Amino acid sequence: MGTKGETRIEMKQGQILANVKKASSDQEFNVVTPTAIAGVRGTTFEVQVFEGFDDNRVSNSSVRVLDGKVAMKPRIVALENVSQEDIEKSPKLKKLAELQNKEIVLDDASRGSMDPELEKKVALLNNAAAENGDSTQALKIAEEQADDLSNTAGEDKALIKEEAEVTVKDRMESATLTAATPEMLEKLEAGSNQEAANEIAEVRKKQQEQILAQIEEEAESQKLESEEEIRKHYQALEKIVLKNGEVIRGATVAQTGNILVIHTADGVRRVSKSEIASQNFL
C-alpha cells in the first residue's frame, strides 16, 4: 500500500529481482525494507534483506541495480505518520528527517547499502517504533536517539555506493521477468495479491516462448565451444542427470516457468524440471 500515485511493497526479509517501468513521471514505486527505502525510477534491480540472528532481530538491506536508476535512503518508521509541520517544530525530529533524506542514486552495475553501525541503530529504533502501539511514545524514543543517529551518519557516512558485478546469468534472468501493468500494481496496492499474481502468471505463460527464444539466441551468440569456456563465461558448470539416464554438462543460464535453458559445449538446449533426476555444481 502507499499514498496516491505510489506503489509501495514492504519487504521484511529475502530477495527480489524486479523490472519496473513506470507509466508516468508522477508515479512512484518504492520497495520498503525494515531500514531503507528504494525509490525506483524505471529499472531492473535487486533488493536483499537479511534478518540478523541476535535478540534484537537487526536486519541489513542492500540494493543492486542491473540497469537504470534507484534512489536509496534510510527509513525512519517513527516519522512516517508525522506531518511536516510537526517535524519543523522539533529540532530532534528535524535531525531524523535530514537523516532520512540522505539519498544516494544507484545506476548501472552499482550496489547501495547503509553504514553497518548506523543501520543497526536505525533497525533498533524502527523495531521499537513497530512494537510500541503508542505513536507519541515512539516519537519520544526517536527524539531521544536523534543526536546519536545523526552523529553516526556524519556528513556522508550514512549510505555506501560501490560497483556491483552484473553477470551474464543476471542478464539472462532479468530477461525472464514479466513487466507488471499499472492495473496489476493497483491490485497489489488494494491487497488483491493472488489476483495480480494469477494475471502475471498468465502473461508470463504467453510470453514464455518469446523469452526462451531470446535467451537461446543470446547464449548461442557467445559461441562457447568447450566446458572451460562455459565455466569461465557463466562462472559455473553443472552436471545434470536426467531421469532417462542422460548426463548433461553445462550451465543453466535462465529459467522461466518449469523450463531451464542450459548452455552446453554442444549448444543450447531446453530441459523441463520434471525431466531432471539430479543437478550438481562441478
Cβ count near 56 (within 10 Å): 11
Residue 151 reports pLDDT greater than 90: yes
Residue 72 reports pLDDT greater than 70: yes
Domain shared by 200 and 162, yes or no: no
Confidence of residue 91 (pLDDT cuts 50, 70, 90): very high
By the 10 Å C-beta count (0-12 exposed, 13-18 middle, 19+ buried), 69 is classed as middle
For the residues 229-243, what does the mean pLDDT come to? Answer: 93
Domain shared by 23 and 63, yes or no: yes
Residue 97 reports pLDDT greater than 90: yes
CATH label of the domain that carries residue 258? 2.30.30.100
Domain span at residue 146 reads 6-166
Whether 1 maps to a domain, the answer reads: no
Domain shared by 132 and 42, yes or no: yes
Confidence of residue 186 (pLDDT cuts 50, 70, 90): low
Domain shared by 161 and 201, yes or no: no
Residue 34 reports pLDDT greater than 50: yes
- Lowest-pLDDT range of 31-35, 118-122, 209-213: 209-213
The domain total for the chain is 2
pLDDT digits 0-9 by tens, 42-70: 778 888 888 664 555 567 899 999 988 99
Whether 115 maps to a domain, the answer reads: yes
Domain shared by 49 and 158, yes or no: yes
Domain shared by 152 and 204, yes or no: no
- Predicted pLDDT of residue 106: 94
Domain shared by 212 and 138, yes or no: no
Whether 137 maps to a domain, the answer reads: yes
Residue where one domain finishes, among candidates 116, 135, 166 = 166
Would the pTM of this model clear 0.75, i.e. be above it?
A: no
CATH label of the domain that carries residue 84? 2.60.120
Residue where one domain finishes, among candidates 166, 190, 225 = 166
For the residues 26-47, what does the mean pLDDT come to? Answer: 84
Whether 90 maps to a domain, the answer reads: yes
CA angle 47-53-54, nearest 5°? 125
Residue 192 reports pLDDT greater than 80: no
Phi-psi map region of 131: left, alpha, beta (phi>0 left; psi -120 to 50 alpha)? alpha
Domain shared by 184 and 155, yes or no: no
